[in-house]
Structure 1
Amino acid sequence: MTSMQQDGEIDLALQALRPRLAGSVIEPHDPLYDEARAVWNGMIDVRPRALVRAGSVGDIDHVLRTARTTGLPLAIRGGGHNIAGHGTVQGGLVLELGQLRSVEVDVAQRLVTVEPGATLADVDRATAQHGLVVPLGVISATGVAGLTLGGGVGWLTRSCGLSLDVLDSAEVITAAGEHLHASEEQNADLFWGLRGGGGNFGVVSSFTFRARHLPTAVLGGNFFYRPAHWKGALAAFDQWTQDVPDEMNSIVTFLVLPPDMGMGDEPWLIIGFAWVAENQQAGLELIGQLRNAAPPDQEEVGPTAWVDWQSAMDSLFPKGSRGYWKNISFSRMDDSAIDVLVGFASEVTWSGTGIDIHHMEGAFARVPEGETAFPNRSSKYWLNIYGFWQDPADDERLSAFARKAHGLMQPFGGHGQYVNFLGVETGQNAVDAARQAYGPETYDRLVALKNRFDPDNLFRINHNIPPTAG
């Protein structure tokens, strides 16, 4: 078949698709095309053959059928906040689920059912009014689907675990068009793979989470430290984390703060914390212990509404930001590790790169290794070096910084990587990304699932787990 004949068949297939949809097909000649093809990471600039904005869950089946019959490469886009740009594909077909954002809360059962295009903000608004919360990420514009399928590290990781740890069930549409219910009781092997294996096994059309009690107000705050105090603050933080209960969640950040915060143009170390319990006095006492051990240069501490806390840093990550991310887990925060951390963090004198250290442990660590496909439950900390710059001229330099910082932390690193914190990779690096992220035992188990549920690798625009040949 000539390329002209193939193009003609694709045109016919897309024409036949349109009347079957509740949503719409957007092609290069459409006025909405450039807006529709844009993803969060502005470094990803590709031109799909067509995008389908699903208007109902039923549209998913039609798009999968079209992808199978045309052979067009298929990308699935949920909330659209993926750093690696897997929500689009050059010359292929994009299934955009962003209009499917319904959130239903069963207050009596504490179950929250979420459509695949919903964001953290959608879920938080629906649950907080009932005094409930689902552990999600740290930026409210993040899509729930991709976050959960990869893991779900956020402000409640110590209190509640990952997002995938509270996933009760999922409705999945496979490459063959099967509609499967996945839970601990039904299709348990698929349910295991969905919790950490990314979008490799099908399109999840619905997620049901077990919600947790949300205090009337969260005790949130930040301690700010100038560079001269960084080493002492990190040492005190590590000591402080030895005994904090699950209700105390914390993230250390190195960042040049936005100008509107009035903090100048020097980098800061920020210890952010969220005490998620009704007894705020106990949280204040714990925060006081850290303050006494490492007095901050500035601070802000007080009760806050959960939806406000969860969206406090949204403005830092506008759509179209450019970024390359690297991550590594580690457990040592001794003098050697602190010297390395402070060394490369001190270089971040520009706005557009941040470094986060998530304190894990707690509920996260009590999930047995191997119970889900998430690769590592034993490390105390998880480091993410993340970009959010605006100027294309900074791409090479700031991507190189992330790689350098990641390399310097290797002597302290634990096993596995968090796929939601993996940036754009190409060539052999892209091929190796998933294998290196999961480790051999988990990876082999994921490959077995891939062979069963997607042997032709229809779902390959992701941190891909290719099926074995034959």
Structure 2
Amino acid sequence: MSAPYLVQDQLDQLRRRVDGAVTAPGDPEYDEARTVWNAMIDRRPSAVVRAADVDDVVSTIAVARDHGLDLAIRAGGHNVAGNGTVDDGIVLDLGAMNGVTVDPDTATVRVEGGATLADVDAATEPYGLAVPLGVVSATGVGGLTLGGGVGWLTRPHGLTADNLLSVEIVTADGERLTAGPAEHADLFWALRGGGGNFGVVTAFNFRADPHGPEVFSGNLVYGQDRWPEAWAALERWTRDLPDELTMITTTLTPPPAMEMGSDPLLVVGFVWASPDRAAGEAVVGRLREAAPPDVEQVGDNRWVEWQSVLDGLVPKGVRAYWRNASFDRLDAEVIDVLTRRGREQTWVGTAFDVHHLGGAFGRVPEHATAFPNRSARFWINMYGFWDDAAVDDERVAFVRGLSGDMDRFATGGQYLNFQGHEASGHRAIDPRTVFGPVKYERLVQVKRRYDPGNLFHVNHNIPPG
């Protein structure tokens, strides 16, 4: 049985009720409106509503709920699993609601639900402030935050979600709520890592931290013959790092635009989140001494430029498939997997990042938020980014193969924002294994309270029962 879809009178009703643009099949803008970042996701909604304000959000939710229609919520549209679109139902696109307001006196930032990382960074930079965000500037703040939010400031300041003060949200019954530590605290807990299961967040209120506009950052680059040495040095180096240093280590075959040759490389990227540059130099110098890089790109970089340096690698319209895992070991067995699999990546089109965690991220009590694993020392994001549909199977197979190799080292949990879609016949993500039994049951209780009919199910879903 096919899913319900909008008939003409329902579409007319929707257009009467919202001030924003409503695009439907046959409209000139339809194909552009329905397209999401991952080109492997090709769905045809009955309507795409580009909300102009919160009233439009309430009205769109009401139409979807009253007519039993599938409802997909889109912020930046950068979700690899394609949860920002749906066949036959309604897409609620928050992209036009992208305002960012900074209060420099209180170091707080109000971010509307459709804003991107670039929107926030552009607004906070003039005040010497930053909200901890992700690593690609086109990413939507909404999806990033609701899944947790790992990026270049995770060790000094925690996840994006850890810096939330409150959220403004519309629930399945159309009620407008503010959720924070003192009101709707159960909902506020669930929204910090539990994904888009509980409502449409129309605004996030963050605390910001002093940062930039320039930061000491860079890359240490290693050729294949140096990888075992570099990984062993990273194991020792990361045992005693100050919170100010965040490291993301990438293994990839660089695209031509990077002008770094055509062989796979190990790139140790870092950001030093402190004005004490000499101290940062000393910390990086310990790694440089233990494993001298083949190439070095280190210096003072403008923060907003550093935050967007990876944008060209994964532009809208690439084909993408991702998996992830947490792990604690960087011993010879793990290093063998990382080096072997990295050397097999002889094409432009797959890569993997190892995020070093701990610091402020690890000091948040495990059950303070819904995020699945605070004790993890490392998190690996295994991902594909390619253009040619003819190589889908082999690129996806590589990511799955590496994921299978890392499974035996995994320490539990899945990061929703690093989890791709699964084609028919493959095991979908199980929320019980993502969050563990205690957090999962608590999330179910929150879901029952705020979305008992599971209106918000076009996501990594937590059913209400």
Which residue does the alignment assign to 2:25? 28
State how far apart, in whole Å, the 1-side matches of 2:259 and 2:46 are: 45
Query: Aligned pair 1:445/2:454, yes or no?
Result: no
Q: CA deviation at 1:285?
A: 1.1
State how far apart, in whole Å, the 2-side matches of 1:428 and 1:363 are: 39
Q: How many residues are treated as equivalent by the alignment?
A: 464
State how far apart, in whole Å, the 2-side matches of 1:339 and 1:435 are: 30
Superimposed CA distance per residue, residues 231-266 of structure 1 (whole angstroms, 9 cap, x where no aligned partner):
100110111111110101110000111212221110
Quick one: which of 204, 208, 212 aligns to 1:211?
208
Which residue does the alignment assign to 2:46? 49
State how far apart, in whole Å, the 2-side matches of 1:435 and 1:10 are: 37
Identity of aligned residues (%): 54
Q: CA deviation at 1:456?
A: 0.7
Mapped contact 1:430–1:463 kept (Cα < 8 A): no
State how far apart, in whole Å, the 1-side matches of 2:45 and 2:161 are: 30
Quick one: which of 440, 451, 455 aligns to 1:454?
451
User: What amino acid does structure 2 have at the position aligned with 1:242?
Assistant: R
State how far apart, in whole Å, the 2-side matches of 1:390 and 1:432 are: 25
Which residue does the alignment assign to 1:125? 122
Q: CA deviation at 1:343?
A: 1.1
State how far apart, in whole Å, the 1-side matches of 2:207 and 2:427 are: 34
Quick one: which of 81, 85, 90 aligns to 1:84?
81
User: What amino acid does structure 2 have at the position aligned with 1:459?
Assistant: F
State how far apart, in whole Å, the 2-side matches of 1:433 and 1:10 are: 34
User: What amino acid does structure 2 have at the position aligned with 1:422?
Assistant: Q
State how far apart, in whole Å, the 2-side matches of 1:379 and 1:335 are: 19
Q: CA deviation at 1:331?
A: 0.6
Query: Aligned pair 1:261/2:272, yes or no?
Result: no
State how far apart, in whole Å, the 2-side matches of 1:296 and 1:255 are: 16
Quick one: which of 99, 112, 118 aligns to 2:109?
112
State how far apart, in whole Å, the 2-side matches of 1:208 and 1:255 are: 36
Q: CA deviation at 1:40?
A: 0.3
- Pairing 1:191-270 to 2, within 5 Å after superposition: 191-270=188-267
Off by >6 Å, runs of 4+ in structure 1: none
State how far apart, in whole Å, the 2-side matches of 1:393 and 1:443 are: 38
State how far apart, in whole Å, the 2-side matches of 1:134 and 1:260 are: 29
Mapped contact 2:352–2:383 kept (Cα < 8 A): yes
TM-score by length of 1: 0.97
SS in 2 for 1:462: coil
Q: CA deviation at 1:429?
A: 5.5
User: What amino acid does structure 1 have at the position aligned with 2:225?
Assistant: A
Quick one: which of 329, 332, 335 aligns to 2:329?
332
Q: CA deviation at 1:52?
A: 0.6
Shift of the 267–122 alpha-carbon distance from structure 1 to 2, 3 Å rule, reads: same
Mapped contact 2:212–2:302 kept (Cα < 8 A): no
In structure 1, stretches of 5+ residues that fail to align are none
Quick one: which of 170, 175, 187 aligns to 2:172?
175
Q: CA deviation at 1:24?
A: 1.2
Superimposed CA distance per residue, residues 134-180 of structure 1 (whole angstroms, 9 cap, x where no aligned partner):
00000000000000000100000001000000000001110011111
- Pairing 1:264-279 to 2, within 5 Å after superposition: 264-279=261-276
When the two chains are superposed, the root-mean-square deviation of aligned CA atoms in Å is 1.4
State how far apart, in whole Å, the 2-side matches of 1:211 and 1:456 are: 36
Shift of the 27–339 alpha-carbon distance from structure 1 to 2, 3 Å rule, reads: same
Which residue does the alignment assign to 1:308? 305
Quick one: which of 288, 293, 297 aligns to 2:294?
297
Superimposed CA distance per residue, residues 365-415 of structure 1 (whole angstroms, 9 cap, x where no aligned partner):
000001000000001100010111100011111111111101101121111
In structure 2, stretches of 5+ residues that fail to align are none
Quick one: which of 417, 421, 424 aligns to 1:424?
421
- Pairing 1:94-113 to 2, within 5 Å after superposition: 94-113=91-110
User: What amino acid does structure 1 have at the position aligned with 2:165?
Assistant: D
TM-score by length of 2: 0.98
State how far apart, in whole Å, the 1-side matches of 2:369 and 2:426 are: 25
Question: Which piece of structure 1 moves more, 351-360 or 431-440?
Answer: 431-440
State how far apart, in whole Å, the 1-side matches of 2:175 and 2:34 are: 28
- Pairing 1:344-359 to 2, within 5 Å after superposition: 344-359=341-356
Mapped contact 2:429–2:460 kept (Cα < 8 A): no
Shift of the 464–429 alpha-carbon distance from structure 1 to 2, 3 Å rule, reads: farther
Which residue does the alignment assign to 2:431? 434
State how far apart, in whole Å, the 2-side matches of 1:216 and 1:73 are: 43
Q: CA deviation at 1:10?
A: 2.9
SS in 2 for 1:439: helix
Q: CA deviation at 1:436?
A: 1.8
Mapped contact 1:198–1:462 kept (Cα < 8 A): yes
SS in 1 for 2:396: helix
Quick one: which of 268, 286, 304 aligns to 2:283?
286
User: What amino acid does structure 2 have at the position aligned with 1:133?
Assistant: A
Which residue does the alignment assign to 2:141? 144
Q: CA deviation at 1:20?
A: 2.3
Mapped contact 2:45–2:90 kept (Cα < 8 A): yes
Mapped contact 1:10–1:70 kept (Cα < 8 A): no
Q: CA deviation at 1:19?
A: 2.4
State how far apart, in whole Å, the 2-side matches of 1:401 and 1:428 are: 17
Q: CA deviation at 1:57?
A: 1.9
State how far apart, in whole Å, the 2-side matches of 1:347 and 1:304 are: 32
Superimposed CA distance per residue, residues 408-443 of structure 1 (whole angstroms, 9 cap, x where no aligned partner):
011211110101000002458565432221111111
Superimposed CA distance per residue, residues 259-284 of structure 1 (whole angstroms, 9 cap, x where no aligned partner):
12221110000000111101101111
SS in 2 for 1:398: helix
Superimposed CA distance per residue, residues 202-250 of structure 1 (whole angstroms, 9 cap, x where no aligned partner):
0001100010111442101101100000010011011111111010111
